[in-house]
Amino acid sequence: MSKKLIFIILLIMFSNKIYSQNTIFDLSYESIEGEKISLRTYKGKYLLIVNVASYCGFTYQYNSLERLYNTYKDKLVILAFPCNQFGRQEPGNSSEILEFCSNNYNITFPISKKINVKGESQHAIYKWLTSKEFNNKFSSSVKWNFQKYLIDPNGNLIDFFYSTTSPTSKKIINYIQ
């Protein structure tokens, strides 16, 4: 075997190890304030993970997300991941995004720093969410802002919902209740 081939095999093995978790709780993100947060913090609760944007036709869903969070915060955490990959609808920096969410929607659930949800620089959480290889459920692709992924309290992917599904729809609430 050539040295180049061995290097490629080792590189693939190492990079796959990063994402070969059984649950999403093995991953972390950086909060919008710059703090590293382990998803283990949320173990035992449902997670609704949403890629968000301040200037999208679905931005009004922040109201429903906040209402859902306040109604079920004893057993649900909503994690918002700002992303500028769809129509450049999240152009702001962290402080601008935080100000927008606070001033316009009084958001109290966790928000991450801006990330990529697809492509070569896809965040590890979204790599896990969108790949059957990592989540052991199914593969998907993020189609637009406000696509939602629901995780059970044990860290297993339940399902995903396109932007057109309201955060307070029966499809989502039935899982949480």
Active centre residues (catalytic): 56
Whether residue 46 contacts residue 75, with contact meaning beta carbons closer than 8 Å, is answered with yes
Taking alpha carbons only, the member of 143, 163, 91 closest to residue 100 is 91
Whether residue 131 contacts residue 19, with contact meaning beta carbons closer than 8 Å, is answered with yes
Give burial (CB, 10 Å; 0-12/13-18/19+) of 105. middle
Q: Which two tokens stand for residue 69?
A: 């969070």
**Which string of DSSP letters, residue by residue, matches 27-58?**
-EEEBTTS-EEEGGGGTTSEEEEEEE-TTSTT
Taking alpha carbons only, the member of 60, 76, 51, 61 closest to residue 151 is 76
